[in-house]
Structure 1
C-alpha cells in the first residue's frame, strides 16, 4: 500500500467521510463501548492539553498551574493508553467483534505509539524535575553536540515532541471522536456499559485531582524559587 493511499485513508477518517462500524456487545458494549470510553478520555485530555499550552504563555507566572495541569494529565493519559491498547490487543488476537470493526488508518497506527511514548516521556521528565528540585534539575547531565542537556532541557524537548505528535493525532481523531460522543452507533443501537464507563471516568478524575494536590505540595522548592525570583530586588544603574 502506497503512502498516498495511507494519506487518503487518514484524511477520509479525519474528515468524517469514512466511519468505522463498531459492533455493540452486551455488558461492556464491546468495540462501541471501548470507542466511547476512549473518546471521552480524549475530550478530557484535549481540554487539559489546551490549558497546559495556555500556561506556556506566561509559564513563570503560572508555574503552579503548569505543574497542576501536568499532573492532572497523567491518570487520563494512562487510562486512555490502556483503553487503546485493549482494542489493539483484541484486534490482533483475532476477537471477532474487533476484527469486524477493523483498524484505524495506517498513518494513525504509526502515530499512535509516538503519542504514547512522547506522553510518557514528557510526564516522566516533568515528575522527575519536581523530585529533583530547581537546582538539580538545571545541572547538566551530558553534553550533546556542544549543548548542555539537563533534566529541564529534556522536559522541554520532550514537551515539543509531545505537543507536535499529539496535535497531529488530535487533528486525525477529533471529528470521529465528536461523532462518537454526539451520535448513536452506526447501527443505531444503544451501547451497554454506560455506568461502568462513567465510574471509570469519575475515578480517573478523582485520582488525577488527588495526585495534583500531592505533587503540588511536593513541588514547593520550585514554587519557592520562583517566588524569590519574582521578589528579588533588581539592580539599578545610577546614571553617569
Structure 2
C-alpha cells in the first residue's frame, strides 16, 4: 500500500495518472474512516456500535486501495515502461508497505471475526490489539510521507467542474474522473451492506472493558513512529 515518489512528468500516459489519482482518492477515504475508527478506541465501551460499523465499512476502500497499489506494483516489476519511468517508492516505504497491508487486513479480518464470535475468544482479541498497534504505527508513517502529496493529486482531478459535453475552447474534464468517483462510491456501498447487517452483533460487546490499547503498547507505537519519521526526515 504505497505510492511512487517521483514527480509526474508532462505527457505521462493516462493509465499511470489515473491509477495514481484513484489511489490518492481511495487513500483519502481510508484515512478519514481510519481517523473515525481510532477516535472510538478511547471510549470503546460506549462507542462499540460505531467501532463495528466503521471497521467493517473500512474493508471496502482498503480492498480497493490494495488492488490499486497492487496493480502499480505488478506493472512496475513487470517492467512496464510507463510505470518504470515513475520510479520505485522510497526504501523505507517499501519496507513498511507489507507491514501496513498485512496489519490492515489482519485488523479488519480479526475485527469481523470478533463481531461474529463475540468477546469470548481471547486469542482473537490479542491478535486484534497487536495488529491495531502495528497498523497504527505504519499508518502514521505512511500518512506522514504522503499527506502533502495526496491533496494535490485529488485537486488535479476536481479542479474542473463536471460537464455533459465540452464547450468550445474549454479544458477537457480529467479523463476517468467519473470512473474513479464511481469506484469509491461502489466500494463504500458494498461494504456498507455488511456493516449494517453486522450491527446487531455489537450488543454482546456493549460496556466491554477488556484489553485496552494503553501502556507499553502505545509507547512502542510512539517510539516506532518517531524513529521512522526521523529516518525519513534525515533522508530528505
Does the aligned pair in 1 maintain the 2:45–2:207 contact within 8 Å? no
Partner residue of 2:110 out of 116, 125, 150:
125
Is 1:86 equivalent to 2:71 in the alignment? yes
1:32 to 14, 17, 26: 17
- Whether 1:195 aligns to 2:183 is no
Q: Give runs of aligned pairs for residues 67-146 of structure 1, distance below 5 A.
A: 67-134=52-119, 136-138=120-122
- Of the candidates 132, 135, 152, which is equivalent to residue 125 of structure 2? 152
TM-score for both structures, normalised by structure 1: 0.74
Paired residues, what number? Answer: 193
Partner Cα distance (1:38, 1:199) in 2: 13
- Unaligned runs of 5+ residues in structure 1 are 1-12, 139-149, 230-240
**Alignment match, 1:207:** 190
Higher Cα Rg: structure 1 or 2?
Answer: 1
- Please report how far the alpha carbon of residue 78 of structure 1 lies from its aligned counterpart in structure 2 after TM superposition: 0.6
Q: CA deviation at 1:132?
A: 1.3
Indicate the residue corresponding to 1:9 in structure 2.
none
Tell me, yes or no, if the aligned pair for 2:114 and 2:125 is still in contact at 8 Å: yes
1:223 is aligned, of 187, 193, 203, to 203
Q: What is the aligned counterpart of 2:40 among 49, 55, 65?
A: 55
Contact 2:99 2:134 in 1 (8 A): no
Point out 4+ residue stretches in structure 1 off by more than 6 angstroms: none
Q: Match for residue 5 of structure 1?
A: none
Give distance in 2, aligned partners of 1:197 and 1:157. 33
User: Over the residues paired in the alignment, what is the CA RMSD in angstroms?
Assistant: 2.4
Compute the displacement of 1:87 (Å): 0.4
Aligned counterpart, 1:167: 140
d(CA) in 1 for partners of 2:138, 2:205:
32
Q: For 1:169 and 1:83, how far apart are their aligned partners in 2?
A: 16
- Aligned mates of 1:223, 1:151 — CA distance in 2: 18
Q: Judge which range, 47-56 or 125-134, deviates more.
A: 125-134
Select between 84-93 and 109-118 the one with higher mean Cα deviation.
Answer: 109-118
Partners of 2:48 and 2:205 within 8 A in 1: no
Structure 2 distance, partners of 1:23, 1:35, is 15
5+ residue gaps, structure 2, are 158-170, 210-236
Cα 1:179–1:213, aligned 2, differ >3 Å: closer, same or farther? same
CA drift of 1:211 comes to 1.9
* Normalised TM-score (structure 2): 0.75
Give the whole-Å Cα distance in 1 for the aligned partners of 2:10 and 2:82.
8
8 A contact 1:22–1:31 mirrored in 2: no
